[in-house]
Structure 1
């Protein structure tokens, strides 16, 4: 089996020079580096990256925890994070928590054991998180993604969930809706959902309208129409529904159409996230667009700054409203037909 001494002999350099070709190539002349790399390729030699990391006291790995990969928001974010990390010489260790706080601690403990250089986490509830309380006692830099800035002092990358959902609510009000509801997954599993509901409630109250409690679904991305039926139809039924994420909105549109209802004819639907799938539906989804790729890039840049010992203070990322076909004017009030005159 080829080793570094064999590579050095074939390249005509010392063992130390051959080692620097892999650990600090910028310290060598280009021609010397080329000879070492070609010799390694010819002999089938691969440097021991783990040994290099141990000597440098850095693994060049970032631990990333997201709730799920079912939601394209997290998948698109991870792709951008991987590209940004690779450009900086880092790799990602990615895992999912299924929105379960009990899993978060086990996941983070395992990543700490792997000596990751930094952590980028999306937790269920940042202000009441056991794992974040534990991480305050650790030296590993930690960044929150999607979570609002926590009282636990960790930096956070995300949009202003409160303001974004308030903007979405005002959009529906401007279309003429007065009876607007909101649905989401289990409220205790998502601080983002709570902030979005607060934004909805604020916009409704400011417009002199009645806000309703969040209608909770058993899952974050799937609608149980039976739980929405009591507030649909009739003179006081909802004419529009806000969803805490796009997959939930897409599920709602499907369930409504299967039940014989029209979107937006019978009910307007608005999502939150801006995933590309929403553009290709019919009706296309009206939604709040989060800059998913920007999330990933800014998250890695911020985490690397923390690793360098800096104190970055990222601002909320911008959101925009994407108008689609799923939200329109409310249906005309029902009027009983005039009795016929014989």
Structure 2
């Protein structure tokens, strides 16, 4: 096709090589994520790519490769800050290597998760980062294995015999929360979350329970879980408090549960930390700016994304060997919502039905 007058010519890999003072082969290696290129040369290539606005030609790439320069990402949902930030991080990391990220939400449905994965397989994506609805043994992971797809499993996973996995060290983080609450004298604690089938939910619950009981064998730990929807959790929590149960602290295993608990406290006129303490797994901006600020377990989103992409591109480039299981440490932030057991609800004040 003839180039129209005034139309800017698309920069080529040779233009990038010329600007960076390296060979076209070196540019190709840098964009493919090969780590053997000298750091100073790699940086010159990346600078030239940005300066020229260079983009890999996907059609030309497809003619040389059976798979396209596309990375798929499937998350359970996009509403939470955790998964939203995860997609943002993965997208940037993919683009640094000359790939395009295509992200989709399974909407907490394993059937939809498998359907999306099948479409990505049809697109011949180079690899997939999958955050499964429940765990590493779901239908999507089975589909990937059966079709020889390259992938990394993140978040709601522990380890797998076929794929590399990267997730937050939920058990260790929950153990730290237990040390914080029991150390402040809490002996009746409510833990709330979604269905216990999810691998991370089990890890968070067991990490908390085992550490709390080790510190105080007589500590009472109540557990309320519901399925994917938050509304059953809200209803169960309301019934629990309505029956006269009065824990001195609540540990929520998910972000939405933290908001549900705080809403119920306010409906009853309870204040943190005087009447009841609150800790949530996952952090959000509203938890930092509300008063009192809500104590939180902060997941290492950037680190998980970086490790996942490093592992994925190693496999894309042909690395073999047994899968690795990475657990990245979390940070527990003790904020104003946590204190020693108070006397608010136990004195009968401020409890509204």
- 1:197 corresponds, among 177, 197, 205, to 205
Alignment correspondent of 2:164: 155
Alignment correspondent of 1:242: 251
Structure 2: 5+ residue stretches without partners:
24-53, 349-353
Between structure 1 and structure 2, the one with the greater Rg is: 1
Q: Is the 8 A contact 1:241 1:267 kept in 2?
A: yes
Deviation of the 1:255 alpha carbon: 2.6
Q: Is the 8 A contact 2:278 2:337 kept in 1?
A: yes
Alignment correspondent of 1:121: 130
Q: Is the 8 A contact 1:133 1:152 kept in 2?
A: no
Deviation of the 1:299 alpha carbon: 1.8
Deviation of the 1:186 alpha carbon: 2.8
Show CA shifts across 1:67-105 (max 9, x none): 111110011111111111111111111001122111111
C-alpha spacing 1:104/1:55, structure 2 compared with 1 (3 Å): same
Q: Is the 8 A contact 2:274 2:343 kept in 1?
A: no
Alignment correspondent of 2:340: 329
CA distance in 1, matches of 2:274, 2:232: 19
Deviation of the 1:127 alpha carbon: 4.2
Q: What secondary structure does 1:214 align onto?
A: strand
Q: TM-score, with normalisation over the residues of structure 2?
A: 0.78
- 1:53 corresponds, among 44, 55, 61, to 61
Q: Please give the root-mean-square deviation of Cα atoms over the aligned residues, in Å.
A: 3.2
Q: What secondary structure does 1:269 align onto?
A: strand
CA distance in 2, matches of 1:129, 1:104: 9
The worse-fitting range, judged by mean Cα deviation, of 92-101 and 52-61 is 52-61
Alignment correspondent of 2:275: 266
* Pair 1:22 & 2:33 matched: no
CA distance in 2, matches of 1:222, 1:175: 31
Structure 1: 5+ residue stretches without partners:
12-17, 34-45, 337-342
CA distance in 2, matches of 1:152, 1:100: 23
Deviation of the 1:254 alpha carbon: 2.2
Deviation of the 1:197 alpha carbon: 1.0
Alignment coverage as a number of residue pairs: 311
The worse-fitting range, judged by mean Cα deviation, of 142-151 and 283-292 is 142-151
Q: Is the 8 A contact 2:188 2:221 kept in 1?
A: no
* Pair 1:92 & 2:101 matched: yes
Q: TM-score, with normalisation over the residues of structure 1?
A: 0.80
- After TM superposition, the structure 1 = structure 2 runs for residues 138-177 of structure 1, keeping only pairs within 5 Å, are 138-177=147-186
Q: Is the 8 A contact 1:285 1:325 kept in 2?
A: yes
Alignment correspondent of 2:32: none
CA distance in 2, matches of 1:256, 1:92: 41
Alignment correspondent of 2:351: none
CA distance in 1, matches of 2:244, 2:76: 39
Q: What secondary structure does 1:93 align onto?
A: strand
Show CA shifts across 1:27-47 (max 9, x none): 55779x9xxxxxxxxxxxx99
